[in-house]
Structure 1
Amino acid sequence: MNLADIPLRPGGAELLPVRCVRARQAFDNRDWVAVEIPVALEFNGIAHAVMLATPTDLADFALGFALSEGILLARGELYGIEEEYGPEGITLKLEVASAAFARLKERRRSMAGRTGCGLCGTESLAHVARALPALPPGPSLSKSAVARGMRELASLQVLQKVTGAVHAAAWCTAEGEALLVREDIGRHNALDKLVGALAKSTLAASTGFIAVTSRASFEMVQKTVAAGVPLLAAVSASTSMATAFAQESGLTLAGFVRGDDLVIYTHPGRLNGQPATARGFQQCM
C-alpha cells in the first residue's frame, strides 16, 4: 500500500499560519499542525475519563480504551457510541452492558488525561496492574517480519508525515504486513485506537504482532496483553515495570527495532526459536 493511496483522516490536522526561518531568512507560510483536543468518555451517562487526543477514529478509540482498561471483556458488551461535539471538546457516550457498567464502578478511577500520562489519577496502587490471562506459547515469528512491520508502519504514518507530531500503532501479520494502522498525538491513544479497530475486524489478534513508534511503557505492554497479541515491537526502549509484566504475561517484548537490529527483553523463544534462556550482560546499544 502506498502512502498516496491513504487519505488524510478528517480532523487530524489543521493548516495554520506560521513564521519560518530557513538559511537565516524569515518568511510567512502555512503548515499542517496535529489537532489536539479534549475527548471525554462517558459510560451509561457517567463521566469516566478525559484524554487529550487527535479526533480521528474515535469509535475505535472508545472501544479500544474500554477493552484495554478491562471495562469491557468483549466487543459485544458495547451497545452503541454517540459522539457529541461541543465548544470545549468531544464527548464519547458509550452504552454498555450492565455487567460492564458494574465492572467499571468496581474499579473506578478519575483520569485527568494529558498526552502520554498513562496512569494519571489512579486511585490506588491496586489499580495499576490488573490480572490478565497469560498469553499462549505461539506463534513463532521471525526477526525479519518484525523489521518489515516497523518499516511498513513508518511508511503508512500519513498524519505523522504531514505534521511530525503524532505516534502510531500497527497490527502486523506473522509475515510483517501492516494491515491496521492508527495514529494519535498520544502513544496510548494510538494503541487504544488500534485495539478497537482490531476488535471490530475479522483478524485473529493472536496470529500477528503490534508495532509502535514509542517506548514500551507498562501500559503499552498491558494493553497489548489485554488484546491477546503475543509480541510488542517498539522503536524505543522498554522500562523495568513493562519488562517484568511482559515476562509474567508471556509476551515477547522487543525494543530499539531499527532495521534488522532489535533488543529482545522477554520470551525470545518466540522469535526465530531463540532459547528462552538467552540472556547475558553484553550491552546491546
Structure 2
Amino acid sequence: MGRLTARSPVTRISLDDVAPGVRRRADTLAVEEPLEIRLGGEPLTVTMRTPGHDIELAAGFLVSESVISAGGHFRSAIHCGGPGTGTVGLTSTENTYNVLDVTLAPGVEAPSTDIARNFYTTSSCGVCGTASIEAIEKSSRYDVAADPVTVDAALIAGLPDALRAGQAVFEKTGGLHAAALFDASTGELLVLREDVGRHNAVDKVVGWAVLEDRLPLTGTVLQVSGRASFELVQKAVMAGIPVLSAVSAPSSLAVELAAASGLTLAGFVRGRSMNLYSRPDRIAVGRADAAHTA
C-alpha cells in the first residue's frame, strides 16, 4: 500500500527574540497521489487522495453518486498495475496502487461514464444550486428527516476533541482533514479516517459502512474537522446520516440542502458552544446547561 507520509528538506526561519535564526531541517508531509476508480475495467473518475483505505474511498464515492446503497451492492475491488493495465497488448511490471478496479454485484447498474454527466461531489462543480438540491433529494435512498434520533448537546460539544485525538497522521504532518462517525446515543467512536481531501475522508467513512453492511447510518453523528460544505452535507444525506457536526462554518448551500433534507447541521462546534443551522429539535440541552445559558 502507498505511503501516508513523506520526508522533505525545508528551510526554517525563526524571528523569535529568544532563538532567531535560519536552519535546514527535515519535515514530514502528508502524501497526495491520484487514484483512478474504474468499474468493470472502465474508467469512472480520478481523485487526489492520501493513499490508504482506497476500497472504502471507492465504495463511499459510489454511495454519494447513488450507484450503490447497501453493502450487498459492492462485490469486490482490486488494485491494478501501472501504465497499460487493462489495455489489450500492454502489460505492467509495477503495481502503483493508484488504480482501483471495482466490481459491482450482479444486477447493480453501473453509472454512465459520459463526460457530460454531472458529479455533485465538488463545491466548484459550477452546477450547484436549486437543481442540484432537488437532484440529491430525488436520488437519495434514505429519508434522514424521518430519523427520530436525539443527541445531547454536551456529546456534540465533545466530538471535535475526540476526533482530534484520533488523528494520528495529522499529528505528524498537520496537513490532513478528518471525518469520524459516532453513535448518537453513547458517543462511541465507530470509525475515523484522514485524507488530504475533506470529501475523501467522508467517503472513506461511508465506504467503511458499506463494507460493514451498515447502511443506512441511522442514529449516528458525522464529525468533520473543517467547514461544512455542500458536498459533505450531500454525502451525509446519501448515506442516511441524520446529524453532521463541523468545527468551522457551513456554506449557504450546505445549509439549504440540510434544511431541505431534514439533516441536523451544527457548525462552529468549539468548546461548549455551537450553531445549529437546521433541525435544532434533535439536539437536547440538559437542565444545567440550559440554566447556565439562560
Three-state SS of the structure 1 residue aligned to 2:253 is helix
Three-state SS of the structure 2 residue aligned to 1:148 is helix
Q: Deviations over 1:29-79 (max 9, x none)?
A: 111100001111111121111111101111111111111221112221221
Rounded to whole Å, the distance in 2 between the matches of 1:247 and 1:108 is 31
Aligned to 2:38: 42
Q: After the TM superposition, which residues 19-98 of structure 1 pair with which residues of structure 2 at under 5 Å, given as runs?
A: 19-22=11-14, 23=16, 24-86=20-82, 90-97=98-105
Deviation at 1:111, TM superposition (A): 8.2
Structure 1: 4+ residue segments shifted above 6 A: 121-125
Three-state SS of the structure 2 residue aligned to 1:39 is strand
Q: Which amino acid aligns with 2:75?
A: Y
Counterpart pick for 2:150 among 140, 164, 172: 140
Instruction: Kindly indicate whether the alpha-carbon contact (under 8 Å) linking 1:18 and 1:30 is maintained by their aligned counterparts in 2.
Output: yes
CA 1:94–1:34 in structure 2 vs 1: closer, same or farther (change >3 Å)? same
Instruction: Kindly indicate whether the alpha-carbon contact (under 8 Å) linking 2:176 and 2:195 is maintained by their aligned counterparts in 1.
Output: yes
Aligned CA-pair RMSD: 2.9
CA 1:109–1:75 in structure 2 vs 1: closer, same or farther (change >3 Å)? farther
Aligned to 2:86: none
Instruction: Kindly indicate whether the alpha-carbon contact (under 8 Å) linking 2:80 and 2:100 is maintained by their aligned counterparts in 1.
Output: yes
Counterpart pick for 2:112 among 105, 109, 123: 105
Q: Which amino acid aligns with 1:189?
A: N
Of 164-173 and 193-202, the range deviating more from structure 2: 193-202
Instruction: Kindly indicate whether the alpha-carbon contact (under 8 Å) linking 1:78 and 1:95 is maintained by their aligned counterparts in 2.
Output: yes
Rounded to whole Å, the distance in 2 between the matches of 1:90 and 1:151 is 32
Rounded to whole Å, the distance in 2 between the matches of 1:230 and 1:124 is 21
Aligned to 2:269: 257
Three-state SS of the structure 1 residue aligned to 2:98 is strand
Q: Which amino acid aligns with 1:179?
A: L
Rounded to whole Å, the distance in 2 between the matches of 1:26 and 1:58 is 39
Instruction: Kindly indicate whether the alpha-carbon contact (under 8 Å) linking 1:44 and 1:101 is maintained by their aligned counterparts in 2.
Output: no
Counterpart pick for 1:184 among 195, 198, 205: 195
Instruction: Kindly indicate whether the alpha-carbon contact (under 8 Å) linking 2:40 and 2:101 is maintained by their aligned counterparts in 1.
Output: yes
Q: Deviations over 1:169-193 (max 9, x none)?
A: 0001123232310000000000000
Q: After the TM superposition, which residues 192-271 of structure 1 pair with which residues of structure 2 at under 5 Å, given as runs?
A: 192-201=203-212, 205-271=217-283
**Larger Rg over CA atoms:** 2
Rounded to whole Å, the distance in 2 between the matches of 1:37 and 1:246 is 31
Q: Deviations over 1:119-163 (max 9, x none)?
A: 548799956742224212411101111112221001111111111
Deviation at 1:100, TM superposition (A): 3.4
Q: Which amino acid aligns with 1:25?
A: G
CA 1:76–1:95 in structure 2 vs 1: closer, same or farther (change >3 Å)? same
1:166 and 2:191 aligned: no
Of 240-249 and 251-260, the range deviating more from structure 2: 240-249
CA 1:121–1:13 in structure 2 vs 1: closer, same or farther (change >3 Å)? farther
Rounded to whole Å, the distance in 2 between the matches of 1:49 and 1:118 is 16
TM value normalised by structure 1: 0.82
Deviation at 1:16, TM superposition (A): 1.8
